[in-house]
Amino acid sequence: MKVIFKEYYERATLELPYDMELREFAYQPFESESYVRHLSFSNEVELKAYLAKNVPLHLYYSSAKYQLPSAKEMEEKGWMGADIQFDLDADHFCNVKKFNFCPTCGQAVEGDVCPRDGTQAIEYVEVTKECIEKTKEKAIDLVEILEDDFGFKPKVYFSGNRGFHVIVECSGDCALLSSSDRKQIAEYVMEINVPKYRGEPGDPGWVGRQARGKSGVEIDEQVTTDVKRLVRIPGSIHGKSGLLVRRVELEKFEFSKEALSPLKGTGILMPFVSGEFELIGEKVKLREKTPIRLDIALALYASLKGLGELKIYEKG
The minimum distance between CB 103 and Zn ion, in angstroms, equals: 8
The minimum distance between CB 101 and Zn ion, in angstroms, equals: 8
Task: Identify whether the C-beta of residue 71 lies closer than 8 Å to the C-beta of residue 38.
Answer: yes
Q: Is 102 in the site for Zn ion (CB under 5 A)?
A: yes
- Give how far Cα 119 sits from Cα of 30, 36, 103, 170, Å: 21, 29, 7, 47
Of 114 and 243, CB closest to Zn ion:
114
Q: Is 121 in the site for Zn ion (CB under 5 A)?
A: no
Q: Applying CB under 5 A, which part among 90-98, 112-120, 223-231, 304-312 lies near Zn ion?
A: 112-120
Q: Is 286 in the site for Zn ion (CB under 5 A)?
A: no
Q: Is 114 in the site for Zn ion (CB under 5 A)?
A: yes
Amino acid identity, position 155: K
Q: Is 273 in the site for Zn ion (CB under 5 A)?
A: no
Phi and psi at residue 147, in whole multiples of 5°?
-75, -50
Give CA–CA dist 261/123, Å, rounded: 23
- Give how far Cα 308 sits from Cα of 102, 111, 182, Å: 11, 20, 41
Task: Please name which of 265, 272, 277, 280 lies closest in space to residue 312, comparing C-alpha atoms.
Answer: 265
Instruction: Point out the catalytic residue in the list 83, 89, 148, 295.
Output: 89
Express the helix, strand and coil content of the chain in percent, nearest 5 each.
30, 30, 40
Phi and psi at residue 128, in whole multiples of 5°?
-90, 160
Q: Applying CB under 5 A, which part among 80-88, 109-117, 140-148, 299-307 lies near Zn ion?
A: 109-117
The minimum distance between CB 102 and Zn ion, in angstroms, equals: 3
Q: Is 129 in the site for Zn ion (CB under 5 A)?
A: no
Q: Is 207 in the site for Zn ion (CB under 5 A)?
A: no
Of 104 and 184, CB closest to Zn ion:
104
The minimum distance between CB 113 and Zn ion, in angstroms, equals: 9
Give CA–CA dist 254/182, Å, rounded: 30
Task: Please name which of 113, 92, 93, 88 lies closest in space to residue 103, comparing C-alpha atoms.
Answer: 113
Q: Is 87 tagged catalytic?
A: yes
Binding residues for Zn ion, total number by CB under 5 A: 7
Instruction: Point out the catalytic residue in the list 141, 181, 220, 226.
Output: 220
Question: CB neighbours of 103 closer than 8 A, spacing ≥ 6?
Answer: 119, 121, 122, 272, 273, 306
The minimum distance between CB 160 and Zn ion, in angstroms, equals: 30
Q: Applying CB under 5 A, which part among 98-106, 239-247, 266-274, 295-303 lies near Zn ion?
A: 98-106
Q: Applying CB under 5 A, which part among 108-116, 232-240, 275-283, 292-300 lies near Zn ion?
A: 108-116
Q: Is 104 in the site for Zn ion (CB under 5 A)?
A: yes
Interface with Zn ion (CB under 5 A): 102, 104-105, 114, 116-117, 119
Active site residues: 87, 89, 220
